[in-house]
Amino acid sequence: MPHTRASLAADLRELGVRRGSVLLVHASLRALGYVCGGPHAVALALRDVLGPDGTLVVPTHTADNSDPAQWRNPPVPEHWWPIIRGESPGFDPAVTPSTFMGALAELVRNLPGARRSDHPHVSFAAVGPEAEGIVAGHALVDMLGEESPLARLYERSADVLLLGVGHDSNTSLHLAEYRRPDPPRERLGAAVLTGAGDRRWVWWTDVVLDSDVFPGIGAELEAAGRVRIGRVGAGPARLMDQRTAVDFAQRWLTAAVRRSG
């Protein structure tokens, strides 16, 4: 049977999505099966459940706006690097599409009233009464740390919904990487627009991120009973309190550092 806006909303409520909450969604809509209306119906179902006082948040990252020297899938020839750095369009939150984030993220960032943070590499978009407060002031350095939308979500006791994806897609766990002792750092780069509308390439130093450990952290979260597991449409769905997940991951990562050192 095809899934509908109404049936998806019922599934989301049964999973535990709360009216009036702030919800960060990571989604692979292919996993949901056939949905009448596709991504539009999914977005409508999410907003139906959240209600007018709820806020929907999605990652709108731009992985291709990054230093080509670090590209691995696929790598590009070294003599291309200066051309890419010199010619890539500067990030424009109103125009630049997200990459590898999926159809739902693209739809949400283009909704009337949606707001998007202005980080050239790891932006987020949000729609709802908390949207501006979540995306404003996204710092270039420590891009998923204390001056990022992830920290604003933490302050608001947001929930995280993994819709058809696993814990390796749970961006919130990166906040825990910033909160572990002495995280390693690396140089990153991206093309930005200046206040005058000119593009330029900028460099900054940031924490080395590693999502390879996230499935293990997620499995332990589930074993501890911290994740609600169900189905939305035909796909697996996981719902968790972001603050609980980040705190758990911080303890896990801190213990790992101590074991290795």
Q: DSSP characters for 153-204? A: HHHTT-EEEEES--GGG-TTHHHHHHHSSS--EEEEEEEEE-TTS-EEEEEE
Task: Give the pLDDT of residue 71.
Answer: 95
Average pLDDT, the chain: 96
Q: Residues of 168-183 as b/e, b for ≥16 C-beta within 10 angstroms?
A: bbbbbbbbbbbbbeeb
Amino acid at 207: V
Question: Is the confidence at residue 126, as pLDDT, over 70?
Answer: yes
Identify the H or E element spanning 85.
Answer: helix 81-87
Instruction: Name the token pair of 11.
Output: 């599934």
| CB-facing half-sphere around the CA of 84: CA atoms within 13 A | 17
Question: Is the confidence at residue 53, as pLDDT, over 80?
Answer: yes
| 95-121 mean pLDDT | 97
Residue 261: which pLDDT band, with cuts at 50, 70 and 90? Answer: low
Rg (CA), the chain: 18
> Do the Cβ atoms of 54 and 128 come closer than 8 Å?
yes
Domain count, the chain: 1
Q: Could you tell me the residue range of the domain that residue 161 belongs to?
A: 5-260
> Do the Cβ atoms of 61 and 91 come closer than 8 Å?
no
Question: Is the confidence at residue 196, as pLDDT, over 90?
Answer: no
When comparing pLDDT for 195 and 140, which is higher? Answer: 140
**Residue 125 forms beta bridges with which residues?**
58, 116
> Do the Cβ atoms of 4 and 33 come closer than 8 Å?
no
Lowest pLDDT segment from 55-64, 143-152, 250-259: 250-259
Peptide bond into 129 cis (omega under 30): no
When comparing pLDDT for 170 and 259, which is higher? Answer: 170
Q: How far is CA 197 from CA 83, 135, 137, 190, 206, in A?
A: 20, 21, 19, 16, 25
**Residues 6 or more apart in contact with residue 116 via CB below 8 angstroms:** 60, 93, 94, 109, 123, 124, 125, 126, 135
Task: Give the pLDDT of residue 158.
Answer: 99
| 39-43 mean pLDDT | 97
Question: Is the confidence at residue 258, as pLDDT, over 80?
Answer: no
**Is pTM, for the whole model, over 0.85?**
yes
Instruction: Please state, in angstroms and rounded to a whole number, the distance separating the CA atoms of residues 148 and 62.
Output: 15
Residue 99: burial class (beta carbons within 10 Å; 0-12, 13-18, 19+)? middle
